[in-house]
Amino acid sequence: MSEVQVNADSLAVKANGGKPIPKFGMRDKIGYAFGDVGTTFVMGVLASFESIYFTNVLGISPAISGTIISLTTLVGAFTDVTVGRMSDVRKLGKKGRFHPWIRVMRWPLVLSLLIMFFPVVRSFSMPAKIAYIGFASIFYAASLSGFNIPYGSLAAAISSDPDDRTSLSIYRTVGSTIGAGGQGLLSRILSIQPLKTALKYYQEIDYFFVQ
C-alpha cells in the first residue's frame, strides 16, 4: 500500500470521528447507482414534458419556451461550476465535503419540481406566466446543480482505491441508464390508456355526426 493511500485512509478515519471506515463492497456500488436512477428519472420526466407543458398547457409561444429552456441550460452551466468549486473548498467535516450538500439540496430540488407544474399558473396573465416559468426553471437548474454535482464528486471521496472509484463510475452509469430507460417505458405505459380513451371519444363524436 502506497504512502499516499495510507495518508488518505488516515484522513478518512479522522473525518469519520476516529471510527474505522467500513470495507468497500457491493452495497456501496448498488446504493450509489440507485442515487442516479432517481435523478435521471426526474430529469427525463422534465425533459419529456417541459416544452409540451409550456406551449400546450400554459399557451406560451414555442419561441419563448425555447428561449427559456436555452437560458436555463446556460445558467446550469455556470451553477455547475460554482457549486463544484464551493463544495470542493468546503471545510472537511465529519460527513465529508459533499454529503452535506446532498442532504440539504435534495429539498430545494423537490420544491423546484413541484412549483414548476403548479396548476394555478394557468390562470396567470401571459407576462406573469413567462416570468414565473423563467424563475422556476432557473431555480430548478440551480437546485439540480447543488444536488447532482456533489453527488458525482462523491465517487472520488468514498474510497481512495482507484479500482473502487472506477467501479462506482460504472455503476453510476448503469443507474443513469436504468433511470432514463425506466422513465421512457413508464411514460409510454401511462400514456397508452389516455390515448385509447381519447381515440374512442373522437370516434364516437365522428360516428354521431355521420349518423
Whole-angstrom distance, CA of residue 65 vs CA of residue 57: 12
Q: What is the mean pLDDT of the chain?
A: 80
- Summarised one tens digit per residue, pLDDT across range 74-127 is 999 999 999 988 988 877 777 778 888 888 998 999 899 889 888 899 899 999
Residue 69 grid cell: 429552456
Burial-class residue 100 by CB neighbours within 10 Å (0-12, 13-18, 19+). middle
Average pLDDT over residues 18-39: 79
**Full 3-state SS string of 135-198:** HHHHHHHHHHHHHHHHHHHCHHHHCCCHHHHHHHHHHHHHHHHHHHHHHHHHHHHHHHHHHHHH
pTM of the model: 0.76
Q: Residues 52, 58, 62, 63: is their CA dihedral positive or negative?
A: negative
Residue 89 grid cell: 473548498
Contact yes or no for 134/186 (Cβ under 8 A): no
- Summarised one tens digit per residue, pLDDT across range 141-193 is 999 999 999 988 888 777 777 888 888 888 888 888 888 887 777 766 666 55
